[in-house]
Amino acid sequence: MKKCIIIMNPESGKVKSLGSKKSFYDILRKYGYDAEIKYTKGPKDATRIVKELEDDVDLVISAGGDGTLNEVVTGDIQRKKGLVLANLPMGTTNDVANMYGYTKDYQKNLEMLLQGVRKKVDVCYVDDTPFVYVACLGDYIDMAYSTPRSLKKKYGKIAYILYGLRQLRNKIHKYNVKYYVDGKEHEGKYSFFFITNSSRVAGVDDIYYDVKMDDNMFEVALANPKTKADILRMLVQVTMKDVKEVPGITYYQTNNFKIEFLDKPKTSWCIDGEEYPHKGPVFEFKVNQSVKMLIPKTNAKKLFEE
């Protein structure tokens, strides 16, 4: 039997709906895996667990949300020998899982990943910190990490809306920035900053039509809405067309992006749904390496070059 370790976040929204774990283990055995569940006990625990695993583990499944997946990937890249990873969505938003084509049925999702294909997935970095699919900064974005967990457990995705309504009366902050794309200098004033390796962010599908997860590149979108009405207009247009075609959004595809805030940001960066407190005005983004992941076949041809 092959050896499978499941890293499960007991605080994720769907873990309690697993019911009998017998069916969970039965599916894994059907595909030749002897499985063990390891529960996380707090922040960064998934990173520690993966980093300390033996090299004979054949598959590591991240059973949680996007934040848990980030921790699992972080643990894997800290190892001398990387393992094969997979994502089983159990969180609230699950942007990465939805992009890969997972459903809301965890048993079906488990079968999909076990029948999947092994792919190389780029890992992006902001300074020395890795992220799987998104780093973003701007007003309202802190909803991802500031919304109380109790609300998310009770209301799911609606919790973000409820929490976000409190901020609607706040003004939009604009930041003067100097930034470099492949070493070329630019300047501008923007309110929202998105660096992504994903076609889905914050529950919005197909933001980019041609994103690839293994092309050693990431996407940069800088938005400068003048009013809250502009924000709503941009959000609507993003759901209808490629983000690079939306007025008010500056777009780049690169693997070398550096930004300096001439005005101090009012909020922290949000990385894969978690807070990344900033230490200074300058941030550098790179694609440093990749991890091996077992991906459902559903969207594999669309999302990967190889």
Task: Look up residue 64 and give its two tokens.
Answer: 């949680």
**By C-alpha distance, which of 189, 271, 196, 283 is closest to 238?**
196
The reported pLDDT for the residue numbered 85 is: 97
Give 9-50 pLDDT, tens digit per residue.
876 655 555 545 677 788 999 999 999 999 998 889 999 999
192-249: pLDDT as tens digits: 999 999 887 776 777 777 888 999 999 999 999 888 788 888 888 887 888 888 899 9
Q: Which domains does the chain have, with CATH numbers?
A: 2-115 (3.40.50.10330), 129-289 (2.60.200.40)
Are the C-beta atoms of residues 78 and 62 closer than 8 Å to each other?
Answer: no
For every residue of 81-125, DSSP letters joined together read: S--EEEEEE-SSS-HHHHHHT--S-HHHHHHHHHT-EEEEEEEEE
Q: Report how far apart, in Å, the C-alpha atoms of 37 and of each of 43, 49, 51, 63 are.
A: 17, 11, 16, 9
Mean residue pLDDT across the chain:
84
Of residues 86, 203, 87, 190, the one with CA closest to residue 134: 203
Q: What is the pTM of this model?
A: 0.85
Residue 66: name the closest of 45, 90, 44 by CA. 90
Taking the CA atoms of 80, 84, 90 and 91 in sequence, report the sign of the dihedral they define: positive
What mean pLDDT do residues 264-268 have?
Answer: 84
- pLDDT-above-70 percentage for the chain: 86
What DSSP letter does each residue of 256-287 carry, written as one string?
A: EEEEEESS--SS-EEETTEEE---SSEEEEEE
Predicted local distance difference test score (pLDDT) of residue 250: 94
pLDDT in tens, 47-74: 999 999 999 999 999 998 888 999 999 9
